[in-house]
Structure 1
Amino acid sequence: MTANPMSRLFRRVFPGRNPLATHGDRIEGAVLALGAVVALLAVPVAAAVGSDIYATHEARVEVEQKSRTQVDAVLLDDTPSMSRGPGGEAVVETTAATASWRMPDGTARRGVVRAPYGAEAGTTLRVWVNLNGDVTEPPMTNQGAAFNAIFSALLLWALIVGAMALLFGLVRFVHMRIRLRWWQLEWELTAPDWTGR
């Protein structure tokens, strides 16, 4: 009758007075227990880091939402036909194009925007601009800030757990090498009695 996985894991971590358990088995168990404890303690640490990142990003969201606005930009020239790669696939979907737009205060601006291939002069595009009227990236949203914070927290926790798993794997590997070396030495002492050589 085989023991369930939890009891096997418990016996691996705490070999107790098992006469077959070596010092290496006890070290392996201690490292496994340490890894489990560190993984559990890493949860609130990762959550705190994620919370800090969210707070930082939340301030950035507020600044960017206030300092960036979307305007209508009108293309001044036709854009070229779509560029295709060796296999006939489109390499990129947009190209640089010159356009003009008006700021909310009515100031006319002109600059380079990203436009689809084959767009004709006079086509209107929505672009994001900063307070100076320069084209910029869209502002970060609250959802984007939350995603970054959650992703960072999970990544930190995964790195800690991965480091503990790597440590356990290294200890197990070294223990196995030592065990195999001892078995080999014992066999070299025992083999002459068994084989008569």
Structure 2
Amino acid sequence: MRVVRGSSGVPRRLRLLKPMVSRSGRMPDRLEAWVIALLGLLAAGSVAVVGVLSVADYGRLAASAAADARARHVVSASLRPDIPVPAGRATGVADVASVMAIWSAPDGRSRRGVVQVAVGPVFPEHFQVWTDQVGRQVAPPLSGSEVFITAVLGGVLWESAALAVLGGVYLIGRRLLDKHRARLWERALSGDATAP
């Protein structure tokens, strides 16, 4: 992106802060410069805070996923022999189907229930199921990449919310300052005060 420079060679965005250090600037201009500087500092601070919170969230999710991996088990399930094997999908594209299956729990007891199975052209007769200690179906634990993506997306969401709030504060402040500038100009034009 091309930076617009004035005759003094100072980038235009930096010139917005000039009234902050110059006593010749109008009060609304000085106030706006201070607001811009303050919101910039808050935005930088929010990035640091959200980064720390995201790292903590990643550690919490990783610990939870490790605990789930220790408490959950993968067992081999098969279609119930008293139910006909469903036909595969002729399209060749993997799909998901609900089937009645039977499996052995980690404690040796037999379990049965409805299982979601990925189906291709040939319907699988054996597949894996995640269970708890007594053989009830549970969701698989989060993988390392899922933990990372969840923590990053959470951080991005919080940072987006923080920047949206700061942007809203700036727009509201800018609108109020513009109204104040308009009143000053009206007074100057009516001769009630000197020009701002």
Sequence identity (%): 22
Q: CA deviation at 1:129?
A: 1.3
Q: Which residue of 2 aligns with 1:131?
A: 133
1:7 to 1, 8, 11: 11
Q: CA deviation at 1:184?
A: 5.1
Per-residue Cα deviation, 1:75-95 (whole angstroms, up to 9, x for no partner): 23345898xxxxxxxxxx434
Quick check: 30-39 or 101-110, which moved more? 101-110
Q: 8 Å contact 2:106–2:133 — kept in the other structure?
A: no
Structure number with the bigger relative contact order (C-alpha 8 A, sep ≥ 6) is 1
Q: Does 2:98 correspond to 1:96?
A: yes
Q: 8 Å contact 1:103–1:133 — kept in the other structure?
A: yes
Q: Which residue of 2 aligns with 1:111?
A: 113
TM-score, normalized by length of structure 1? 0.73
Amino acid of the residue matched to residue 52 of structure 1?
A
Change (3 A) 1:106 1:136: same
Q: Does 2:65 correspond to 1:71?
A: no
Q: SS of the counterpart of 1:106?
A: coil
2:34 to 27, 30, 33: 30
Q: CA deviation at 1:9?
A: 1.9
Provide the C-alpha distance between the structure 2 equivalents of 1:177 and 1:80, rounded to a whole number of angstroms.
71
Q: Does 2:41 correspond to 1:40?
A: no
Q: CA deviation at 1:5?
A: 9.2
Q: CA deviation at 1:185?
A: 5.8
1:179 to 165, 168, 181: 181
Change (3 A) 1:164 1:122: closer
Q: Which residue of 1 aligns with 2:194?
A: none
Q: SS of the counterpart of 1:55?
A: helix
Q: 8 Å contact 2:87–2:123 — kept in the other structure?
A: no
Provide the C-alpha distance between the structure 2 equivalents of 1:144 and 1:43, rounded to a whole number of angstroms.
22
Q: CA deviation at 1:127?
A: 1.8
Change (3 A) 1:5 1:99: farther
Q: Which residue of 2 aligns with 1:88?
A: none
TM-score, normalized by length of structure 2? 0.74
Change (3 A) 1:177 1:36: same
Q: Which residue of 2 aligns with 1:143?
A: 145
Stretches of 4+ aligned residues off by more than 6 angstroms: 117-122
Change (3 A) 1:100 1:14: same
Q: 8 Å contact 1:75–1:100 — kept in the other structure?
A: yes
Amino acid of the residue matched to residue 17 of structure 2?
V
Provide the C-alpha distance between the structure 2 equivalents of 1:56 and 1:42, rounded to a whole number of angstroms.
21
Q: CA deviation at 1:53?
A: 0.9
Q: Does 2:19 correspond to 1:17?
A: no
